[in-house]
């Protein structure tokens, strides 16, 4: 599956360039909305804080919504993403870390050293029927959504899926590299995680990385009144089930 995900990432980069050259650039407004839905709601809230860390409870409607939107980040099935992320937290900045303790450019481009995800990291998700369906039919799902939009208008899948997923890819690369190199260490942790205000501003709330590593199961990483954490606002006012 790993090489298929790499090919999907490369495809999205190439086709995004095609769209920016030959497409209607007014559709970038739609890309921004799709970015917020796919990357912030589906990715940072869904893949990260909900599926990986189980940091809050929500309704089944939002569960399915985040499963779909999270998958459209084009990082692979949510269960695979969560397995990688959970292992990252368990082995952060050691030789066993899937995307740590190696050159930053390799981390950013996901040219990671070979690794395995042990069953213990995804044991709960293996019991989730919907997660298993998405895992087994992930590339069919991406292909079906992409083709359906293409048949309506060739620009739609580029501006609604490919460009947002490319932005998501580089947002993740920014966090996984810079936030393990420089910034503020608010809490003492057994890794090189930092809160980086510039990364946090660019990603709208994913740069409070040291706080997240200190409290991985927390859904709100804000500690100061000026901290930005859009995912936490979404969780608090829309998603969380009291």
The answer to whether the CB of 185 falls within 8 A of the CB of 194 is yes
pLDDT tens for each residue of 13-46? 999 999 999 999 999 999 999 999 999 999 999 9
In angstroms, the Cα distances linking 74 to 41, 77, 149, 162 are: 14, 8, 16, 8
pLDDT tens for each residue of 166-201? 999 999 999 999 999 999 999 999 999 999 999 999
pLDDT of residue 1: 64
Over the range 171-209, which residues count as b (16 or more CB within 10 Å of their CB) and which as e? bbbbbbbbbbeebeebeebebbbbbbeebbebbbbbbbb
- Percent of the chain beyond pLDDT 90? 90
Q: Domain boundaries in the chain? A: 2-239
pTM equals 0.94
- CA dihedral for 215, 220, 224, 228, sign (positive or negative): positive
């Amino acid at each position: 599956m790993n090489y298929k995900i790499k090919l999907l990432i490369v495809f999205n980069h190439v086709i995004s360039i095609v769209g920016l050259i030959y497409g209607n650039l007014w559709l970038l407004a739609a890309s921004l909305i799709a970015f917020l839905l796919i990357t912030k709601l589906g990715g940072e809230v869904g893949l990260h804080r909900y599926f990986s860390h189980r940091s809050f409870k929500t309704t089944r409607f939002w569960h399915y919504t985040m499963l779909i939107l999270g998958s459209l980040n084009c990082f692979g099935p949510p269960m695979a993403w969560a397995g990688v992320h959970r292992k990252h937290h368990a082995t952060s900045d050691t030789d066993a870390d899937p995307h740590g303790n190696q050159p930053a450019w390799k981390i950013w481009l996901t040219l990671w050293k070979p690794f395995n995800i042990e069953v213990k990291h995804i044991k709960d998700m293996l019991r989730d029927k919907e997660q298993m369906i998405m895992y087994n039919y992930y590339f069919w799902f991406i292909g079906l959504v992409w083709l359906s939009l293409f048949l309506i208008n060739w620009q739609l899948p580029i501006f609604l899926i490919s460009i947002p997923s490319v932005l998501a890819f580089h947002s993740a690369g920014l966090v996984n590299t810079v936030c393990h190199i420089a910034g503020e260490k608010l809490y003492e942790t057994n890794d090189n995680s930092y809160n980086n205000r510039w990364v946090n501003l660019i990603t709208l709330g994913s740069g409070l990385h040291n706080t997240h590593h200190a409290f991985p199961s927390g859904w709100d990483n804000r500690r100061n009144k000026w901290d930005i954490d859009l995912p936490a606002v979404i969780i608090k006012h829309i998603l969380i089930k009291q």
